[in-house]
Structure 1
Amino acid sequence: MAVSSTARSQAEELPGVELTGFGTFGAAYNTTNKVDLLRDLSQTNGVGYSRKLDFGLDSNVGLQLDMHSAVRTISGAIQVVAKRDHAGITPNLTLAFVRYAEDDWSLRTGRVGFDVYPNADSRLIGYSYVWQRPPVEFFGPLIFSHFDGADLQFRYRRDNQEWRLKLYSGITNEKVEVTPASTYFLLNHSRLHGGHLEYRQDPWSFRASYAELHIANENPALQSSLDQLRSPGISFFVPNANPVADKLQMKGKVFRFSALSLTYDNGPWLWEAMAGRTLTGNTFIPDYKAGFISGSYRRGKFTHYGVLSAIRPLTDPEKAIVLPGAPPELIAGANALNTQMINQRGWQTSLSAGLRYDLTPQSNLKFQIDFVRSHDNLLLRRVQPDWNREAVLLSATYNFIF
């Protein structure tokens, strides 16, 4: 949420509405023009090949309307965020829910955030976390940020310990840019179920998360390949055509997200470590594991931080095997498909260092340098054949809430 906890608690005492907001104005510079680096998979353009100096990678602006009824237990919120995605820079309705809350439990229904990982549902609010952006290797592959449905949260407190259980279910409605550019994979009507269990005892907190996404639609960029692999007689030249098609198909697949996180927050020190695994049963967004460790130290208005993050594939893609004597166009098509599937794996490492300076209680400046090394192209766009697979990203942002 954009509003501070103090302001929120004061607002909840009286019925009415309150307008809050947040935003980030940023600039990013990629030292190489051989590849576009992305913030996440919702973006079609990044920084590097498209433009070496870019102002849209991290920039966004959001408005939130919080509604408080005369009944203390009922409230609601609507949030609209404009950021760069598959349609350019356009506003999107990211939250729209009604909330019923008692002392230790709450129920929200409508459009709510997807927080399978800590910070996942607030990753657009640059003011709210230490880094320039959430570690790309961990958060970037998440292909949606909200869903339409409901979530239910329980809280149990005893002495200085606290347990939280959250369960949610709904459907997604977002788009993912695929290759070729301007072709989109629709998540519409894909069902989501999941939850997490969290334990807190200052200065430690621990969370275990799990979610399932049941894909309802086929990826249009893969349809021609699927049709060819399943065409009559293709098995004469490609004996494993059916297994390749089954692995390539998106519709009907179940994406399974699981993660563990550990946080130590004590005085000037903040340490965070997260590890996750995503199983897709698919070769276009293959199975992968990812994680990061982050440490920061605050002194006055300055916070220095460092992050090491990585993503690695868990499986090798099912390659199409073409027998001798196959038509040249079939050989060329199979080779292109195999290359594309190999490049779609997630293999990337980033080492980042940065500085956050708090201008006011509602605004800050951040400066970060990222050293990126990538073997595969899941989190990249417009990769040039002569790229040496390394890049340095320099970025600065002004972040605020009101």
Structure 2
Amino acid sequence: MPAQTTDPLSRCRQGLLAGLVALAAMGAAQAQETDKPSGATGLRLSGFGSLGVSHVDAPSGWGFRRELNQGGSDDAWRADVDTRLGVQLNYSLGSQFELVGQVIAKKRAHYAADSDALEWAYASYRPTADWTLRAGRVNLDVFLMADYRNVGYGFMTARPPVEFYAMLPTALDGADVARSWQQGDAQWRAKLMLGSARIGDFESTKASRVRSIVGGMLSREEGGLLLRVSYAHTRVDIDKSNIQPVLDGLAQLGSVPIPTVAEQALAMRRRLGAENGSGTFWELGLRHELADWQWSAEVVRISADPLIVLTSAYATLGRRVGDWTPYVAYGHVRDSQGVLPMPAWQAALTPVIGPVGAAQAQGLGSAVTASLNASRFQQSSWSIGTRWDFHPQAALKLQWDRVRISNSGSGLWTGANGAPSHATIATAVVDFIF
């Protein structure tokens, strides 16, 4: 990683704390406005947080994380995986206009921008009770937990299923328009969204973006059963500043008069994102609450060939017994991009570019292949746990995960080498709202 004069994590931490302090101060100064009647101008302050500790038993050097924009660590005991603090301000300008801001302090990776702490920052307009228009930085409403994936108190498990949510961006810089309507006993909701979002593994590269997002969502809820489907099409812009020399080297190898070497080199170049392309996103989600039982399931298909083609799914099931809710969960992600075979170029290239150049080309091909294979997502996990609602605004969760990582499928971990393996994670977390 290139040397930097300022520690990005320190910069980000300072920005987070400054934002939280500013929001808290504003809320305290105008707290008297929170009790104004509906339709009046007023400020409302709310917040949420999680205090968690995890013990991770994984291969040496492997770092667990719950999302790709989170820095990893191979420490056995971790207090930074789930711990976070969020503050939200809602400022109403009458019954139709509202300004919303949300700041979240949590562990972020090396290249995270200071502005990432600002999770939401948008203006909302409701011309009628059925229509809502928002513009700014809004939640990316293409999955079940879009509104509350950082609010641990809002869901049953210790964290959102890693195999599903670790790869998904949280915020959309743009606008959306939604309409709700009643049909019999069913509540329908439709939304159209436009904008861009930051993506990528921030631990190893600068964030890239998906731009020109055009997406839609349709949901139906009746009798405790929520069904929803989402679709989005986007243009993918990969930041190539850190890998441009590699791309140039592969392009040169793609012109050598040896078909096998040329084809493999160009295929690697495409997999690295040499040419920006487009992608599609499909999601189907279900959530049901019936008496003391609650379950949810989601499946997503992400395709941005040749960069990534994967299918991810999870299911959770729990039953409330008094203040306790024991549960079980399963998650799985499958990468449809095949494992690349290790190239054998040196012997074929030696007569063409000499022994030194052939050795360098072989080293480049081997390194790129190992990196691409290690960045694939191919794992599954079983989780068992329980939630104890010991306070109306706080809950304790205990969870144990057993994770199986397939060969060349360790992309959700930091420092992993792509070897097949297993890991166990034991977590205790207290989630609260205020």
TM-score over 0.5 (shorter chain) = yes
Counterpart in the other structure of 1:45: 72
Counterpart in the other structure of 1:369: 400
1:56 and 2:87 equivalent?
no
Q: CA deviation at 1:11?
A: 6.6
Partner secondary structure for residue 220 of structure 2: strand
Counterpart in the other structure of 2:330: 308
Pair member with larger Rg: 2
Give the alignment partner of residue 316 of structure 2, picking from 279, 282, 294: 294
1:116 and 2:158 equivalent?
no
Q: CA deviation at 1:131?
A: 0.7
1:134 and 2:167 equivalent?
no
Q: CA deviation at 1:174?
A: 6.2
User: After alignment, is 320-329 or 37-46 more displaced?
Assistant: 320-329
Give the conservation status (yes or no) of the 8 Å contact 1:178–1:185.
no
The letter for the 1-side match of 2:69 is: S
Answer 1 or 2: which has greater strand percent. 1
Counterpart in the other structure of 2:45: 19
1:74-85 aligned at under 5 Å gives the runs 74-85=97-108
* TM-score, normalisation: structure 1: 0.88
Partner secondary structure for residue 347 of structure 1: strand
Give the conservation status (yes or no) of the 8 Å contact 1:288–1:313.
yes
1:394 and 2:426 equivalent?
yes
Answer 1 or 2: which has greater helix percent. 2
Whole-angstrom distance in 1 between the partners of 2:251 and 2:388: 57
Counterpart in the other structure of 1:5: none
User: After alignment, is 310-319 or 21-30 more displaced?
Assistant: 310-319
Cα distance, 1:13–1:126 mapped onto 2, change above 3 Å? same
User: After alignment, is 155-164 or 240-249 more displaced?
Assistant: 240-249
Q: Which ranges in structure 1 are unaligned for 5 or more consecutive residues?
A: 1-7
Give the conservation status (yes or no) of the 8 Å contact 1:228–1:234.
no
Counterpart in the other structure of 2:380: 349
Q: CA deviation at 1:321?
A: 5.1
1:278 and 2:293 equivalent?
no
Q: CA deviation at 1:220?
A: 3.3
Q: CA deviation at 1:112?
A: 0.2
Cα distance, 1:209–1:9 mapped onto 2, change above 3 Å? farther
Whole-angstrom distance in 2 between the partners of 1:342 and 1:164: 40
Q: CA deviation at 1:77?
A: 0.7
1:177 and 2:202 equivalent?
yes
Whole-angstrom distance in 2 between the partners of 1:97 and 1:205: 26
**CA deviation string 1:110-147 (max 9, x = no partner):** 110112111034211111100100100011111x2112
The letter for the 1-side match of 2:181 is: Y
Partner secondary structure for residue 37 of structure 1: coil
1:227 and 2:248 equivalent?
yes
1:99 and 2:124 equivalent?
yes
Whole-angstrom distance in 1 between the partners of 2:392 and 2:274: 46
Q: CA deviation at 1:168?
A: 0.5
CA-based RMSD: 2.4
Give the conservation status (yes or no) of the 8 Å contact 1:44–1:177.
yes
Q: Which ranges in structure 2 are unaligned for 5 or more consecutive residues?
A: 1-33, 350-357
Q: CA deviation at 1:24?
A: 0.6
Partner secondary structure for residue 236 of structure 1: coil
Cα distance, 1:11–1:53 mapped onto 2, change above 3 Å? farther
* TM-score, normalisation: structure 2: 0.82
Q: CA deviation at 1:277?
A: 0.7
Q: CA deviation at 1:322?
A: 4.9
Q: CA deviation at 1:36?
A: 1.1
Partner secondary structure for residue 383 of structure 1: coil
1:338 and 2:369 equivalent?
yes
1:381 and 2:408 equivalent?
no
Partner secondary structure for residue 134 of structure 1: coil
Give the conservation status (yes or no) of the 8 Å contact 2:374–2:416.
no
Partner secondary structure for residue 69 of structure 2: coil
The letter for the 2-side match of 1:222 is: I
Counterpart in the other structure of 1:214: 235
User: After alignment, is 110-119 or 229-238 more displaced?
Assistant: 229-238
The letter for the 2-side match of 1:364 is: A
Q: CA deviation at 1:234?
A: 4.3
Give the conservation status (yes or no) of the 8 Å contact 1:250–1:282.
no
Q: CA deviation at 1:395?
A: 0.5
Whole-angstrom distance in 2 between the partners of 1:216 and 1:225: 18
Whole-angstrom distance in 2 between the partners of 1:398 and 1:175: 29
Q: CA deviation at 1:73?
A: 1.3
The letter for the 2-side match of 1:370 is: D
**CA deviation string 1:263-301 (max 9, x = no partner):** 221111111111111101134xx2110101110101221
The letter for the 1-side match of 2:262 is: P
Cα distance, 1:233–1:200 mapped onto 2, change above 3 Å? closer
Counterpart in the other structure of 2:280: 256
**CA deviation string 1:56-114 (max 9, x = no partner):** 00011011111111x21111211111111114997711111111122111111111011
**CA deviation string 1:231-252 (max 9, x = no partner):** 2774335221334323322652
Counterpart in the other structure of 1:3: none
**CA deviation string 1:299-320 (max 9, x = no partner):** 2211111101100111315668
Partner secondary structure for residue 82 of structure 2: coil
